[in-house]
Structure 1
Amino acid sequence: MLYPSNSTDKLGFTEVKELIKAHCLSEMGRQMVDKIQVMNNYDQIRKFLYQANEFKNILENDAPLPIHHFFDIKSLANKAKIEGAFLSEEEFYQVRASLTTVFAVIGYFNEREGQYPNLEALFEHLPIEKAILKKIDLVIDQKGKIRPNASRDLQDITSGIAKAEQEARKKIDVIFKSASGNGWTADGSLTIRDGRLCIPLLAENKRKLKGFIHDESASGQTVYMEPEEVFTLNNKIRDLEFERRREIIKILTALTDELRPYVPLLLSYHGLLTKLDFVRAKALFAIDIEGNMPEVVNDATLKLSNARHPLLLLNFKKEGKTVVPLNVRIDEGTRIIVVSGPNAGGKSVCMKTVGLLQMMVQAGLLISAAEGSVTGVFKQLFVDIGDDQSIESDLSTYSAHLSKMKNFVEQANGKTLILIDEFGTGTDPQFGGPIAEAVLESLNHKKVKGMVTTHYSNLKIFASHTEGIENASMLFNNVEMKPLYMLEVGKPGSSYAFEIAQKIGLPQNVLNLAKNKVSAGQKKVDTLLVDLEREKKEILDTRIKLEKQQRHVNVLLAENEKLKSYLDENKKTLIREAKDQAKNIILNANKLVENTISEIKSSNADKETTRTLRENLNTELQKNTVKPVVVKTTVADEELKPGDWVKLTDSETTGQVIEVIKDNVVIAIGDLRTVAKKKRVMKVSKSSVPKEIRKSYSQTNDMASFSPEIDVRGQRTEDALNNIERLFDRAVMMGFGNLKIIHGKGDGILRKMIRQYLKKYEQVDRMEDEHLDRGGDGITYVYLK
């Protein structure tokens, strides 16, 4: 139940319906949009939401649904029901085109059986009766015209007409040529008059030919005559055309008779097309407003995350601006939220956002809120927004408000959502405030849920110590005197009346006079609220700063873990390689010693030969001797500079200097970063650094210079896909979150091929068009998981 009846207009729901209607392809779909109503049946709401969400998924992630023609089959079927009536050639063409669309749609979903269960339910048990198409195809061609061979008689008549027309043309050509040769004709050629082919004759020569004069020129110098011989043939042609029309009606009547048994099925097809057009329009609107499907629960509750007013969102999109998102929760613990704050601070928009999104959900529409939002089902929605004074009903503004409050208090219950703007205004605040407080207390006692906006201090105080009612305020930058449009639940907000008046330029003496007229208690309350706002802003800024620092710490910890893992892995590898190398050295040394001894024994060598063999042995052994490493510590700043290669003295880790900060050095090791004291590093030559480490650093530089944007306009499809694949591989390897692909608009073929190609990668989360003002569907944004 909606109260009052104009609530849909007040909240903008009527405008939402108009925007959805603009996406409909047929009048039937637009009529269905007109019938959209706020429901309170939980299962019905879920069904409509799932249908819209599945269609949105098709539009964004699947091949296009083959929807081409939407004609009003219902009116054609009702016409065909009448005995003796017949459908025209154009009407049969519309039936055929619509059925082709229906069968293509059913085939589309059959190929994806189980993938879109709620949309499949639209045509469950609906057969594909191709016999209807076959019957129509025998009579009507692809252009919607009756086939010349639709019947034997029609074929004979059509042939007779063609033959007679050819004979008539041949005769009139002969007569025209003869008359021209005699100089009887006026300038020009054969012409049509009253649907007849005529010869233009000079008026003075009109008696020289027998025939029927159909017309004459404005000057009277030229007459247009149909020769007697041709006149007879043309009459014959006209008779044949009448006969042909009678035969066509006979054929169409027979075809209509054959179609009549299928009328109930045609009506079912009509219902499917209408529903598809309707759901498609809802899905397209959801894409426009970046809508998602919330979790729907069968309870009077509400939790919106990053919610935005859909109409405001669309307007801001055109202007290139963004809407500040809203986070709000209404449940048994926090039933009514009392929103306060400065004028033009966004209180009313905040409340209307809650009301409109709840209304949209209960009408089966996706909403402009983040996934994870939860919406319940309210049996009643009561709205008091704007001035409803009425001269006819003798109601003032305040009387109209009181009339609504009376209905609210009498009819509201725990399943009711109330939305009241500027609660209590319209009369003397000294009396309006207490009345508003009493109404609020009564509504809270009935467990009513909702949101109200106010400037009254007594309502803020009442909310602060009443269970079930929570204060909230729209944040305000009291330094720059600008609203932040952010809802903060928990504390009331100041109206900033004096501050705003001062910024606007109201004379200081007037401001001082006004301040003196405000009671000390009210002054104290308002000052306290301003101070709270200031503290709240400082806390918010501090929290943001701390979160940023915490993220930085988390990154450093992750890098440290990676570095440790990298060092441990390299250490094991180096030890294993060293052991293998030592083993090989020992084996080679043993072989060398044995060979030397064998040569000495076998040759009975003298002292000189033995000495030579020993020298060779020592030379070979010294090749494997490890030279002691002299550790050089870096002391002065000028000894190290960015780009130098260094080694940590207490390990074999090598890296490149990024920055020198006092006694510390920032070192890059592959794609990791570490900080070390200067005394812990020693400078080494670039050639002594392993190629793998130099390559790793080179890749790090590549990452810094990597651009996640590519322009493939003018490229062949194959070349474009190859270039995009290379960019995609690098982006995935480097951990980039999104890519920007500029492919242009054209016929949309390149855009379609690129999107189909990228869908096969599981790393792709979604793809979106650029904003209309910055390229629209000529640019695709690819978001990676």
Structure 2
Amino acid sequence: MLYPQNSADKLGFTEIKELIKAHCLSVMGQQLVDKIQVMNHFDQIQKFLSQAHEFKNILLNDAALPIQHFFDIKTLANKARVEGAFLTEEEFFQIQASLSTVFAVIGYFNEREGQYPNLEALFEHLPIERSILKKIDAVIDQKGKIRPNASRDLLEITTSIAKAEQEARRKIDQIFKSATANGWTADGSLTVRDGRLCIPVLAENKRKLKGFIHDESSSGQTVYIEPEEVFTLNNRVRDLEFERRREIVKILTALTDELRPYVPLLLSYHGLLTKLDFVRAKALFAIDIEAEMPGLVNEARVKLINARHPLLFLSFKKEQKTVVPLNVQIDDGTRVVVVSGPNAGGKSVCMKTVGLLQMMVQAGLLIPAADNSVMGVFKQLFVDIGDDQSIESDLSTYSAHLSKMKYFVEQANGKTMILIDEFGTGTDPQFGGPIAEAVLEALNHKKVRGMVTTHYSNLKIFASNAEGLENASMLFDNVEMRPMYILEVGKPGSSYAFEIAQKIGLPQNVLNLAKNKIGASQKKVDTLLVDLEREKKEIIDSRLQLDKQQRRVDILLKENEQLKNYLEENQKALIREAKQQAKNIILDANKLVENTISEIKSSQADKEKTRNLRENLNKELQKNTIVQEKPKQVAPEDDEIKPGDWVKLTDSDTTGQVMELVKDNVIIAIGDLRTVVKKKRVQRVSKKEIPKEIRKSYNTSTSDAANFSPEIDVRGMRGEEALYAIEKVLDRAIMMGYNTLKVLHGKGDGILRKLIREYLRKYEQVSHMEDEHPDRGGAGITYVYLR
């Protein structure tokens, strides 16, 4: 139940119906759209929503439904119902085309049995009576004309007409040639007058040719004569045509009599076509507004996720703008949301969005919101929006509001949704505020659901203390002094009256005078709200900064762990290799000693032989002796370290490559890490002393830097994921001295774009940002200019 009756107009539901009607193919479908009403029967709503959802899936993801012709079969069936009446050729053709569409549609769904159950229910148990088509096809051809052989008599008449016409033509051609040869005719050829073929004859020769004069030229010099012999033949043709017409009426009457028993079935086919046209129009409109089917529950609650006002969405779509999505929940815990905030901040649009989407769902229409939204079913929808003052009823604006409040309080219950805009306005705020608070308290006792908008502080305070009521505010950027159109549930909002007045340019002395006139408590409340808003923004900024630092710490810990594992693994491998080499040396030494002793014994200590064997033993000993290298000299202080040099930390064995010199500090690249140390803590080393594996990894890093592009695509990423990816690219761009960074984030609803820009403004290295040229992406791409 809607109250008042013009609620559909107030919320924009009437405009929605007009937009759906524009997609209908038939007048019958448009008539069904006019009958759309808000329902409260759960199963019925679920069925209508499912039908629209399934048809939308067909339009987007399946082969085209064979819908070609929509005619008003109902009117034709009712005409055929009357005894003695007959349908015309055109009317039989309309039935023929419509039935072909019906049978094709039924065949389409039979091929996909079970895939679209709710649409299949539209023609459940509806038979395909092809005998109707056969009867019509035997009489009417594909162009909608009666077939020449529809009956034996018609065929004979048609043949006789053709022969008579042919004979008349042959005869008049002979006479025309003879008259031309005698010079009786005027310049020209045979012509038609009064539907009869005539010969143009000069006026002075009209007595020379027997026949009937049908017309003469404007000058009177030419007369148009139908020859006497042809006149008789043409009369014969005319008589045969009358006879043919009578035979056609006889055939059509007989066909109508055959069709009469099928009238109830024709009416059923008409109903199917009408419903298909209706559901198709709803599905096409759903595609226009990017609507989805929400979850439906048989409870009085609402959970809207990323919802958009459909009319505002279509308007912004033409202007290539995006609508800020709405997220709100109304349930047992939060029954009534009290929305406050600045003027032109979007409070009314927010409330109308909730009301309009609720009406659309209960009318069986898909809504522009995420498919994980949940919509309930309300028995009543009470709306108080706009000015309903009435001269005839002697009602002022405030009286009209009070009349509605009286009805709300008396008739509302736990399954009622209320929508009240600018609650309590229209009279002295000193009295309007308490009355509004009392009405809100009475409605809350009845456990109604809904949303109200207000500027009254007493209602904000009442909502913060009353169970079931929840404050909410439309966010406002108090730095740039502009509304953000984002609903935040949990706290009231300031009206920002003085801030907006100051931005508009109201003189400061007037503002000061106004501030002195308001009460101290009121000023304190409003100031507190503004401060809360500012503090919350600071907290959010701090949290983002902490998240950024935490991510950096996590990265460093991960890289440190990887480096540690790498060193441990290499150390183990080196020790294994050293042990194996030592083992091999010992085995070789034992063999050499044993062989030497054996040969000395066999040579019986021959001096020359013994000396040679001792030299061989010394050579093998020197081959496996480690030569102690001299310590490397530290590079002299006057040997300047330059970018690109390899250096080693003096207090460890860590080596790296110099990236940049900053005063007394050196920026060193150690793998993928960058560190800053004092010059006195490093010493330059030769490139040859650096292992090839390490130099190769640095060359790879250098190659990566050469291939680095200051451009990133974050479309499809979540907010935090996108910020993390942009941060890494931004750091590299700053380090490599790039002047710009290109971020592709897409248009969508503009949420990701806004989040990215607010995040990048915190970098002091960022100079400014701007959109790409409209021809190359527009608001879907942000150019970041670096200092």
In the superposition, the TM-score normalised over structure 1's length comes to 0.76
Q: Which residue number corresponds to residue 272 of structure 1?
A: 272
Q: Which residue number corresponds to residue 55 of structure 1?
A: 55
> 1:517 aligned to 2:517?
yes
Separation in 1 of the partners of 2:705 and 2:163? 84
Quote how far apart the aligned CAs of 1:110 are. Answer: 1.9
Separation in 2 of the partners of 1:12 and 1:422? 18
Separation in 2 of the partners of 1:557 and 1:267? 76
Q: Which residue number corresponds to residue 454 of structure 2?
A: 454
Quote how far apart the aligned CAs of 1:660 are. Answer: 10
Q: Which residue number corresponds to residue 377 of structure 1?
A: 377
Structure 1 residues 239-318: aligned runs within 5 Å: 239-318=239-318
2:410 counterpart SS class: helix
Separation in 1 of the partners of 2:708 and 2:236? 86
2:40 counterpart SS class: coil
Quote how far apart the aligned CAs of 1:692 are. Answer: 13
Q: Which residue number corresponds to residue 99 of structure 2?
A: 99
Separation in 2 of the partners of 1:632 and 1:46? 86
Separation in 1 of the partners of 2:60 and 2:557? 36
Q: Which residue number corresponds to residue 726 of structure 2?
A: none
Q: 1:701 to 1:361 in 2, by over 3 A?
A: farther
Q: Which amino acid aligns with 2:488?
A: E
Q: Are the aligned partners of 2:642 and 2:661 in contact in 1 as well (CA < 8 Å)?
A: no
More divergent stretch after superposition (396-405 vs 183-192) = 183-192
CA displacement 1:140-162 (0-9 Å, x = unmatched): 22211122222222222222211
Structure 1 residues 321-720: aligned runs within 5 Å: 321-543=321-543, 556=555, 638=642, 640=644
Q: Are the aligned partners of 1:640 and 1:683 in contact in 2 as well (CA < 8 Å)?
A: no
CA displacement 1:444-479 (0-9 Å, x = unmatched): 011111111111111111112111111111111122
Quote how far apart the aligned CAs of 1:417 are. Answer: 0.4
Q: Which amino acid aligns with 1:201?
A: V
Q: Which residue number corresponds to residue 759 of structure 1?
A: none
Q: 1:140 to 1:272 in 2, by over 3 A?
A: same
Separation in 1 of the partners of 2:221 and 2:670? 105
Separation in 2 of the partners of 1:440 and 1:499? 29
Q: Which amino acid aligns with 2:44?
A: Q
2:58 counterpart SS class: helix
Q: Are the aligned partners of 1:338 and 1:472 in contact in 2 as well (CA < 8 Å)?
A: yes
Q: 1:521 to 1:706 in 2, by over 3 A?
A: closer
Q: Which residue number corresponds to residue 12 of structure 2?
A: 12
Separation in 1 of the partners of 2:632 and 2:262? 96
Q: Which amino acid aligns with 1:539?
A: I
Rg bigger for which structure?
2
Quote how far apart the aligned CAs of 1:282 are. Answer: 1.0
Q: Which runs of 5+ in 1 are unaligned?
A: 598-606, 623-627, 709-735, 741-772, 777-785
Quote how far apart the aligned CAs of 1:565 are. Answer: 12
CA displacement 1:517-562 (0-9 Å, x = unmatched): 21222121222122222223333444555566667777x499869x
Quote how far apart the aligned CAs of 1:46 are. Answer: 0.9
CA displacement 1:573-601 (0-9 Å, x = unmatched): x989x99xx99xx9xx99xx9xxx9xxxx
Q: Which residue number corresponds to residue 73 of structure 2?
A: 73
Q: Are the aligned partners of 2:103 and 2:128 in contact in 1 as well (CA < 8 Å)?
A: yes
CA displacement 1:4-41 (0-9 Å, x = unmatched): 00000000000011111111111111111111111111
Separation in 1 of the partners of 2:258 and 2:656? 86
Separation in 2 of the partners of 1:693 and 1:58? 56
Q: Which residue number corresponds to residue 768 of structure 1?
A: none
Q: Are the aligned partners of 1:474 and 1:488 in contact in 2 as well (CA < 8 Å)?
A: yes
Q: Are the aligned partners of 1:657 and 1:667 in contact in 2 as well (CA < 8 Å)?
A: no
Separation in 2 of the partners of 1:558 and 1:248? 94
Quote how far apart the aligned CAs of 1:383 are. Answer: 0.2
Q: 1:223 to 1:49 in 2, by over 3 A?
A: same
Separation in 1 of the partners of 2:67 and 2:244? 36
Q: Are the aligned partners of 2:79 and 2:87 in contact in 1 as well (CA < 8 Å)?
A: yes
Q: Are the aligned partners of 2:472 and 2:490 in contact in 1 as well (CA < 8 Å)?
A: yes
Percent identity over paired residues: 73
Q: 1:703 to 1:243 in 2, by over 3 A?
A: farther
CA displacement 1:485-530 (0-9 Å, x = unmatched): 1111111111122222222222222222222221222121222122
More divergent stretch after superposition (268-277 vs 506-515) = 506-515
Q: Which runs of 5+ in 2 are unaligned?
A: 596-607, 624-628, 714-742, 748-773, 778-787
Separation in 2 of the partners of 1:775 and 1:640? 40
> 1:84 aligned to 2:84?
yes
Q: Which amino acid aligns with 2:524?
A: K
Q: 1:494 to 1:706 in 2, by over 3 A?
A: closer
Separation in 2 of the partners of 1:167 and 1:407? 87
Q: Which amino acid aligns with 2:226?
A: E
Q: 1:567 to 1:108 in 2, by over 3 A?
A: farther
Q: Are the aligned partners of 2:656 and 2:668 in contact in 1 as well (CA < 8 Å)?
A: no
Q: Which amino acid aligns with 2:444?
A: N
Kindly tell me the number of residue pairs found equivalent between the two proteins.
681
1:28 counterpart SS class: helix
Q: Which amino acid aligns with 1:214?
A: H
Quote how far apart the aligned CAs of 1:232 are. Answer: 1.0
Quote how far apart the aligned CAs of 1:218 are. Answer: 2.0
Q: Which residue number corresponds to residue 222 of structure 2?
A: 222
Q: 1:512 to 1:223 in 2, by over 3 A?
A: same
Separation in 2 of the partners of 1:149 and 1:278? 40
Q: 1:664 to 1:49 in 2, by over 3 A?
A: farther
Q: Which residue number corresponds to residue 32 of structure 2?
A: 32
Separation in 1 of the partners of 2:442 and 2:448? 9
Separation in 1 of the partners of 2:259 and 2:656? 83
Q: 1:637 to 1:310 in 2, by over 3 A?
A: farther
CA displacement 1:146-204 (0-9 Å, x = unmatched): 22222222222222211211111111111112222222222222111111111112222
Q: Are the aligned partners of 1:340 and 1:472 in contact in 2 as well (CA < 8 Å)?
A: yes
Q: 1:306 to 1:738 in 2, by over 3 A?
A: closer
CA displacement 1:411-457 (0-9 Å, x = unmatched): 00010000000111111111111111110110001111111111111
Separation in 2 of the partners of 1:255 and 1:633? 115
Q: Which residue number corresponds to residue 730 of structure 1?
A: none
Q: Are the aligned partners of 2:644 and 2:659 in contact in 1 as well (CA < 8 Å)?
A: no
Q: Are the aligned partners of 2:66 and 2:105 in contact in 1 as well (CA < 8 Å)?
A: yes
CA displacement 1:380-427 (0-9 Å, x = unmatched): 000000000111111111110010000000000010000000111111
Separation in 2 of the partners of 1:33 and 1:71? 17
Alignment RMSD, CA only? Answer: 4.6
CA displacement 1:652-700 (0-9 Å, x = unmatched): xx999999997666688xxxx6668999999689998999999999899
Separation in 2 of the partners of 1:541 and 1:707? 23
Structure 1 residues 188-207: aligned runs within 5 Å: 188-207=188-207
Q: Which residue number corresponds to residue 603 of structure 1?
A: none
Q: Which amino acid aligns with 1:41?
A: H
